[in-house]
Amino acid sequence: MTLLVSHGDADGVIAAALVLTRLEKCLIRFSAVGKLRQVLCSLIARYDLGQELWILDISPTEVTLKLASVFRHVTWIDHHKVDEAEAPGNVELILDPSSPSAAQLVASYLGIESDLVAMANEVDTNSVKSDDAAFLRDYIGMLKHKYRGLGLNRKLVSLARYLASGKLEELMNKESIIEEVEAYRRRVEEYTKISIERLRIEQLGRLKLAIVEKSTPFVPIYAICTELQYHAEAPFDLLVFAMPVVERNNIKTKLEFRTHTELDVNEIARKLGGGGHEKASGAVLDGFYSGDKLLELLKSYLGKET
């Protein structure tokens, strides 16, 4: 049995589905860069180290590379910008930040041609045009809003297997799922409106910032970014989304960065210990940052950008 860890977004689910077309017997865990170390430790404790491990759409670090390398062989495919890291001899590292999606890299690596790749590219670059890509983005969004933990993982694994079997249309035509996705889309529209009404706009030197602090049950980042393109003060050099999270009784602040211009938001995220892409990145900070405290933090880290 092969172990597979992938990012729990549309790109990561599609990347996992592509691997499933070649390796049906996979144990799948969906995760994120901040939780990968914990997931790897869990896999090491529970499973035979003679297994093969795949990691998709999650950035490697020196620590996670060493942890992963205890398995017999590791295939690690990602498209985020990362610091150069030396991979152990049994870790095959395929990194290409110029790729629009990890799914595209996986398909190329496996020699697969699939319509799923176009969907991953659309969603991961926030340029959704097709109904299929819109459904997949919103279905996963609905699942993340409704489920947590192992329950969410089971749903995402089921979705990956549907995609691997070419059954997306079957899923899209299920009445119960149609109703849930439509209800989710109504909430996205409502929460987008509320977030924009409470938008904070700041000018830091040459940079115009749009700051969105969490004021709804979830923050539909892609929808807010799209809507703000038509704002009277657009374009915004830096869109900042600040969301408090609780991890093991500790309060942290999850920051997501986007841009309407040519600003490299990945560089900003990296200064804060995070990373991602030039147009979309993020970081998680210890403590609670809001209002003027958040603004002062941004001022201190933007530095020469302003």
Q: CA of 251: how far to CAs of 118, 195, 239, in Å?
A: 38, 22, 22
CB 134 within 8 Å of CB 123? no
Burial 14-34 (b: 16+ CB within 10 A, else e): bbbbbbbbeeeebebbbbbbb
pLDDT bracket for residue 306 (50, 70, 90): low
- What's the confidence (pLDDT) of residue 305? 60
Average pLDDT, the chain: 94
- What's the confidence (pLDDT) of residue 206? 94
Bridge partners, 27 (sequence order): 3
In whole angstroms, give the CA distance from residue 119 to residue 134. Answer: 9
Q: CA of 271: how far to CAs of 33, 229, 268, in Å?
A: 16, 26, 5
145-180 pLDDT, tens digit each: 999 999 999 999 999 999 999 999 999 999 999 999
Bridge partners, 306 (sequence order): none
In whole angstroms, give the CA distance from residue 94 to residue 298. Answer: 33
> Mean pLDDT across the stretch 238-245?
96
Q: Cis before residue 235, ω within 30 degrees of 0? A: yes
Rounded to the nearest 10 degrees, how much is the dihedral formed by the CA atoms of 61, 67, 69, 70? 180
56-109 pLDDT, tens digit each: 999 999 999 999 999 999 999 999 988 877 899 999 999 999 999 999 999 999
Q: Does 286 score more than 80 pLDDT?
A: yes
> Mean pLDDT across the stretch 245-253?
87
**Beta carbons within 10 angstroms of residue 303's beta carbon:** 10
- What's the confidence (pLDDT) of residue 219? 92
Residue ranges and CATH numbers for the domains of the chain are 2-172 (3.40.50), 199-305 (3.10.310.30)
* Residue type present at position 77: I
- What's the confidence (pLDDT) of residue 238? 97
In whole angstroms, give the CA distance from residue 237 to residue 306. Answer: 11
CB 10 within 8 Å of CB 124? yes
